[in-house]
Amino acid sequence: MLVPLSWLKEYVEIDIPAKELEKKLFSCGFEVEELTEVGKDIDKVVVGLVEECEPIPETHLHVCKVNAGEHGTFQVCCGADNVCAGGKFPLALVGASVYATAKDHKTVEGLMTIKKGKLRGYDSEGMLCSGVELGVSEDLYPGAGYNGLLVLPEDAVPGADVKPILGLDDYIFDISITANRPDCQSILGIAREVAAVLDKELKEPSYEYTTTPVAGKSFRVTVDAVDLCPRYIGHYVSDIKIGESPAWMKRRLALVGIGSISNIVDITNYVMKELGQPMHAFDCDFLQGSEINVRRAAEGEKIVTLDEQEYTLNPSNLVICDGVKPVALAGVMGGLNSEIRETTKEVFFESAKFARDSIRKTARALGKHSDASARYEKGVDEYSTVYGMKRALHLIEELGCGTVSDIHLDVNCGNSIEPKEMKVSIERVNRVLGIDVPVEDILHIMKNLNFQPAVNGDELTLQVPAYREDMESYPDVAEEVIRMYGYEHVQGTFLPDSQVTVGGLNSRQQRELSLKRALCGVGAYECIHYSFFSPKDLDLLRLPADAPERNAIQLINPINEDLSLMRTLLAPSMLNAIARNQKKGNLEGRLYELGSAFIPKALPLTEYPDEKATLCIGIFGKKENFYDLKGICETVADNLFLSFTYEAGRKTFLHPYQTAVIKCNGEEVGYLGKVAYEVAEELDLREDAYIAEIDLAKLDAMNRGKATFTPLSKFPEEIRDIALVMDKAITCGQVEEVIGKACQYVKSIKLFDVYEGEQIPADKKSMAFKLRFVPGEEPFEGDAVDKFVKKILKNLKFHLDIDMRS
């Protein structure tokens, strides 16, 4: 929120520099996001008295002798039509910084530094300035809007800095207000805090006005939707004289970024900024039936707002109506039909409290935001609703722009704006803080914050102002105390009264970390990808319409379609990561991600979905192949003390003949394979990629082996190599299975050679295995191992028609 220093000074004496005040505000909970001097870009511009002014023949220019007091007297050429001898104007000295303007003399085109120059043969040392060149608008300083020189007051002293004269030495605080302090969304609200922190009196603005009875006029206000409008105050004002606002009001509004429109409209804006109460003024000529009705809009009802936009409404929108039609979208914007015009003679003022949620929903649903709606969304208290109206009526009187009638209508739910009593234990407050703040300090702080404290032993009695709706109990008091007393008093302690607890990762978390480290050990880098993905990602995988992976949880309000589904598998994120890497020239690499896949039990969600811990591995580059990835999968199995088996499988996005299903204890737990060429092409992959995805949640639930020790056999092991000839279709896995089942002493089977070619029939291949036989309790007797081999060969012949290679 923008707060001008000069405006703050209206309510509280500030005797410290703006920078100091920024620090004080910061330490009591009001972070100043930006502190700007109004004339921060303007430098070395002083009051110049034009002593002589001669026209330069055949030009519109004048050559002037300008007296700049202590800085000297300078010859300056000037093209403005209002330059004249005896006038006082802002003089930018050589080296000064002012705004540069376009040829129209109105559009600012950055900054410029004044240099010595020569115009039509005349030396010019400095520049006489317009309002635009100094960044001063008509609203900020009367007369500054003239397209010529800015005329300074007669009492200005030549050579004096113009900044204080034009208010350019003022400061604007841009303060961020936390959500619990809507009462500080106003200049007065901030002034209260400043008064408290500086230990000064708060000077409230005047709320006085006198009413004049009017005869023959009556108004009726009814509120149908009390839940959305707990308070509505209306007041009738006659004899309106629409005109300009006084300079001080225009200036203040301009400093907070609001342009002056007319005195009546300006008063509503002024009260909103000053007290935080949005106001509205209806032109009574256009209110039919002398009646205001606050109700929910009918389905399909229409309104045209002040900015000439038409909206179609529904019952979740609150409208202000006259006897016939909606005249305002409550808390958001007035209707065009009852707008204040030059001809307005009578006004019905509105000061109301609307439910913040309702205004927020309406503003968002219609995409219609205004200063008023922004203010209502943060929450308005009834204290400002009551005082806002008083203040507006006072300003009507002060500006002399209308007659305040005695027609005052107030519909309320009985909420009081009197302070509420609250009792807290001082010991309790200190127990939150962990320090003992002296009672006198607590009393002083609470008094400064307008809580009218009284103390009786340990009991502190407070009168909570109605605008402090955030105050509930002792922790809130503790916060008020410490933010004013100073957080530097809080000294670190280390849970002196706390019980000892045992910390650290649980076993599942440890396993996860160990798995990640093992994957790093095989050269893979961990990635983290978004938990959401795109419907396009499912299409990329060529999943059929009824694939379970398409049954994804949808975000109601995604940022965009690409981030609109909760991912049901991790593969697409990995594929995209590989594609991004290859695009950037990283043509080989290993990546993995450990994240959740989101599997709904029902859609739309009626219960928590399954968040399935999943591992996805992606490898790519010339050096990589299917078996490299399979090796990594084996690393995973080893790390988890499990063993995997692999069977040829199919995935719509993987190579039809280089894909395997991973099984563990007979259950399918994942897949691995080469990325299909059509998918690779769609992703513009330059190098082949392989991916695997493993259901860690399932594995986690499985009985895992333990790290146990089997004593080494006392008897020697034996090794046999066997070379076999078989049909090309037979897989290594099939052979291994038969061998494993044929002999219990075979402890390892290692394929060491595969051959196809001239030495064997064309439809056959040869595979050679190294078998390791490990004896049990007894040593192998005589030709025992040869007998095992014979049995193995027999079984291979029987089951798979495999022969020994001759």
Site for another protein in 583-602 (CB under 8 A): 584, 586, 589-592, 596, 598
Candidates 248, 530, 627, 715: give the one binding another protein (CB under 8 A): 530
Among 505, 648, 701, 719, binds another protein (CB under 8 A): 505
Q: Which CB sits closer to another protein, 59 or 176?
A: 176
Exposed, middle or buried: residue 360 (CB in 10 Å: 0-12, 13-18, 19+)? middle
Closer residue to another protein, CB minimum distance, 603 or 648: 603
In Å, what is the CA distance from 238 to each residue of 244, 281, 418, 555?
17, 12, 31, 53
Q: Of 558 and 631, which CB lies nearer to another protein in the complex structure?
A: 558
Phi first, then psi, for residue 13 (nearest 5°) are -75, 120
Q: Find the binder of another protein among 434, 631, 656, 716 (CB under 8 A).
A: 434
Please identify which residue in 214, 553, 743, 793 interacts with another protein, judged by CB under 8 A: 553
Nearer to another protein, 216 or 604 (CB): 604
Q: Which stretch binds another protein (CB under 8 A): 48-56, 269-277, 425-433, 769-777?
A: 425-433
Q: How far is the first Cα of the chain from the last one, in angstroms, to the nearest whole number? A: 91
Strand partners, 98: 112
Interface pick for another protein out of 445, 524, 726, 792 (rule CB under 8 A): 524
269-288 binders of another protein (CB under 8 A): none
User: Which of 29, 158 has the CB closer to another protein?
Assistant: 29
Tokens in use for 615? 């591992």
The one among 333, 519, 735, 738 contacting another protein by CB under 8 A: 519
User: At closest approach, how far in Å is the CB of 511 from another protein?
Assistant: 13
Residue 410 carries which side chain, given as an amino acid letter? D
Among 9, 217, 345, 516, the residue binding another protein under the rule CB under 8 A is 516
> Max Cα separation, the chain?
131
Q: Are strands 347-353 and 231-238 parallel, antiparallel or unpaired?
A: antiparallel
Per-residue interface string for the shown chain with another protein, residues 444-483, x marking contact by CB under 8 A = -----------------------------x-xx-xx--xx
Q: Are 367 and 312 in contact (CB under 8 A)?
A: no
Residues in the chain, overall count: 806
Q: Which stretch binds another protein (CB under 8 A): 38-46, 260-268, 333-341, 520-528?
A: 520-528
Residue range at the interface with another protein (CB under 8 A); choices 82-90, 178-186, 437-445, 453-461: 178-186
Q: Taking the CA atoms of the chain, what radius of gyration do you get in angstroms?
A: 41
> Of 562-581, which residues contact another protein (CB under 8 A)?
563, 566, 577, 580-581
CB closer to another protein out of 178 and 314:
178
Q: According to the binding rule CB under 8 A, does residue 761 interact with another protein?
A: no
One residue of 494, 622, 707, 729 binding another protein per CB under 8 A:
494
Closest CA relative to residue 567, chosen from 600, 519, 590, 592: 600
Cβ burial of 391 (10 Å; 0-12, 13-18, 19+) is buried
Among 360, 612, 698, 764, binds another protein (CB under 8 A): 360
Say how far apart CA 785 and CA 157 lie, in whole Å. Answer: 117
The smaller minimum CB distance to another protein, of residues 501 and 703, is found at 501
Q: From the CB of 481, what's the least distance to another protein, in Å?
A: 9
Please count the CA atoms within 13 angstroms of the CA of 53 that sit on its side-chain side.
Answer: 22
- Site for another protein contains 525 (CB under 8 A): yes
Quick check: 558 binds another protein (CB under 8 A)?
A: yes
The C-alpha angle 442, 443, 448, rounded to 5 degrees, equals 100
- Contacting residue, 215, 495, 545, 729, with another protein by CB under 8 A: 495
Q: Applying CB under 8 A, which of residues 213, 216, 367, 503 lies at the interface with another protein?
A: 503
**3-state DSSP assignment of residue 777:** coil
Q: Is 500 an interacting residue with respect to another protein (CB under 8 A)?
A: yes
Which one among 357, 421, 668, 783 touches another protein, defined by CB under 8 A? 357
Q: How far is the CB of 622 from another protein (least distance, A)?
A: 15
Q: Which residues ranging from 14 to 53 are in contact with another protein (CB under 8 A)?
A: 26-29, 31
557 binds another protein (CB under 8 A): yes
Pick 17 or 521: Cβ nearer another protein: 521
Q: How far is the CB of 539 from another protein (least distance, A)?
A: 21
Contacts to another protein from residues 376-395, by CB under 8 A: 377-379
Q: Are 285 and 346 in contact (CB under 8 A)?
A: yes
Q: Is 346 left (phi over 0), alpha (psi -120 to 50) or beta?
A: beta
Torsion of CA 496, 498, 499, 503, to 10 degrees: -100
CB of residue 696 to another protein, shortest distance in Å? 13
Q: Are 586 and 527 in contact (CB under 8 A)?
A: no
- Phi then psi dihedrals of residue 629, to 5 deg: -65, -40
Residues 630-669 that bind another protein (CB under 8 A): none
**Total residues at interface with another protein (CB under 8 A):** 91
Alpha carbon of 671 to those of 536, 569, 595, 674: distances in Å?
Answer: 22, 12, 16, 10
Min. distance of Cβ 593 from another protein in angstroms? 8
Q: What residues between 691 and 720 interact with another protein by CB under 8 A?
A: none
Q: Is the dihedral of CA 432, 438, 439, 444 positive or negative?
A: negative
List the one residue from 17, 400, 523, 761 that touches another protein (CB under 8 A): 523
Closest CA to 690 of 786, 605, 592, 760: 592
**Considering only 79-87, 354-362, 718-726, 730-738, which stretch makes contact with another protein by CB under 8 A?**
354-362
Does residue number 628 form part of the binding site for another protein (CB under 8 A)? no
Q: Scanning the structure block, which residue is given the tokens 């002040």?
A: 306
Taking residue 585's Cβ as centre, other Cβ atoms within 10 Å add up to 7
Considering only residues 600 to 619 of the shown chain, the ones binding another protein according to CB under 8 A are 604-606, 608-609, 611
Beta carbons within 8 Å of 418's beta carbon, 6+ residues apart: 466
* Binding test (CB under 8 A) with another protein, winner from 73, 82, 452, 554: 554
**Judged by CB under 8 A, which of 532, 644, 646, 769 binds another protein?**
532
Least distance (Å) between residue 508 CB and another protein: 9
- List strand residue ranges (DSSP E) for 338-402, in order: 347-353
* CA gap 529, 591 in Å, rounded: 12
- Angstrom distance (rounded) from CA 324 to CA 74: 69
Q: Which of residues 180-239 bind another protein (CB under 8 A)?
A: 180-182
**Of 361 and 770, which has the nearer Cβ to another protein?**
361
SS3 per-residue string spanning 554-604: ECCCCCCHHHCEECCCCHHHHHHHHHHHHHCCCCCEEEEEEEEEEECCCCC
**Nearest distance, CB of residue 181 and another protein, angstroms:** 7
Which residue in 456, 499, 703, 806 binds another protein (CB under 8 A)? Answer: 499
d(CA 13, CA 6): 10
Kindly state the smallest distance separating residue 518's Cβ from another protein, in Å: 10
DSSP state of 133: G
Minimum separation from the CB atom of position 528 to another protein (A) = 5
In degrees and rounded to multiples of 5, residue 155 shows phi and psi of: -85, 0
**Is residue 252 near another protein by the rule CB under 8 A?**
no
Cβ distance to another protein smaller for residue 147 or 176: 176
Determine which residue in the list 103, 104, 179, 681 makes contact with another protein, applying CB under 8 A.
179
